Structure 1
């Protein structure tokens, strides 16, 4: 067990170093040598865990997604305890994809770098598709749950709306990244509320649905 824990910790140390390089200097700065220096370990140790730059980027992308998933899980748990609506919890979850603070900005830059590499790498592209499908499925499930409790009208196409909502959020995230001064927090969150408000138009008849 300690060896597994040590292995995971070392991979995490390397992935965190990759993220810092991407945020500070861009993807071009990510090399085995620079990653080793950033992580404070030897080149040989980095090569023991990762044989190529794409492998390091994939591990970093996966780590970012795990952190996002964990945060969303915590938000949903707290929201259920507080009796928040499904729309409110979905709004909080989707806001985690938008670079509204340093943590989310760093994660967004990793996703952006990964998307660029995935455009020319079939394996990375497959991971990207699976990740996107998972996010859309989570949103569709929230819409289904909203229908069950009365927040969403009957007959709404959950899958279709999930696709549109996720694409909308990705657009907001990109605009925020490109022009942060022109897209303040209040405007971004108001736009997100408006988009969700077109789907979640009712009042929940009961609580505890997630």
Structure 2
């Protein structure tokens, strides 16, 4: 057990170092030597855990996506416990994609850097596609749940609306990244509320009974 924990901790230490390098200098700055220096370990130790730079990059991208997924799961669990509507929980989840603070800004820069690299790397493109499909699937499931609950009208195409909603949120994320001062958080939340309000037009039957 301690060996597994140590292995995971080293992986995290290395991938966190890669993320910091990407945020500060860009993806092209990442080398095994620089990552080792940033992580405070030897080149040999980094190479023990990652035999190639590509493996290190893939692990970093996967870790960033994993953190996003974990936060969304936590938000949903908390929202359900507090009796929030599906639309409210979905809005909270989507804001995790938008660079509204330093942590989310760092993750967005990593995703942006990998999006460029994925255009020329099939393995990274595969991870990127899998991540996008996963996000759209979660949004589609929220819409389906809304249909059952009464927040969404019958006959709505969940997959089609999920594609539009995720694309809209990612557009907001890009605008926030490019023009932070001109894209304040209240405006972003209002835009998300307006867009989600076109799909989540009803009231959950649980709320009506309450």
User: What is the TM-score with the length of structure 2 in the denominator?
Assistant: 0.96
CA distance in 1, matches of 2:3, 2:118: 32
**TM-aligned CA deviation for residue 86 of structure 1:** 0.2
Aligned counterpart, 1:82:
82
- The question of whether the paired residues in 1 share the 8 Å contact of 2:62 and 2:127 is answered with no
Aligned counterpart, 2:23:
23
**2:205 counterpart SS class:** coil
Mapping 1:34-183, distance limit 5 Å: 34-183=34-183
- The question of whether the paired residues in 2 share the 8 Å contact of 1:165 and 1:196 is answered with yes
**2:206 counterpart SS class:** coil
- The question of whether the paired residues in 2 share the 8 Å contact of 1:58 and 1:114 is answered with no
Deviations 1:100-155 (A, max 9, x none): 00010011111111111111011111111111111000000000000001000000
Deviations 1:149-168 (A, max 9, x none): 10000000000000011111
Aligned counterpart, 1:194:
194
- The question of whether the paired residues in 2 share the 8 Å contact of 1:140 and 1:161 is answered with yes
| Aligned: 1:8 with 2:8 | yes
**TM-aligned CA deviation for residue 182 of structure 1:** 1.0
CA distance in 1, matches of 2:117, 2:141: 30
CA distance in 2, matches of 1:51, 1:109: 25
Q: What is the RMSD computed on CA atoms of the aligned residues?
A: 1.0
> Which runs of 5 or more structure 2 residues have no equivalent in the other structure?
none
Deviations 1:33-85 (A, max 9, x none): 11000000001111111133222121111111111111111111111111100
CA distance in 2, matches of 1:86, 1:107: 25
CA distance in 2, matches of 1:51, 1:173: 34
**1:112 counterpart SS class:** helix
- Which shows bigger deviation, 111-120 or 99-108? 111-120
**TM-aligned CA deviation for residue 206 of structure 1:** 1.7
**TM-aligned CA deviation for residue 98 of structure 1:** 0.3
- The question of whether the paired residues in 1 share the 8 Å contact of 2:151 and 2:200 is answered with yes
- The question of whether the paired residues in 2 share the 8 Å contact of 1:64 and 1:107 is answered with yes
**1:66 counterpart SS class:** helix
- The question of whether the paired residues in 2 share the 8 Å contact of 1:150 and 1:205 is answered with yes
> Which runs of 5 or more structure 1 residues have no equivalent in the other structure?
none
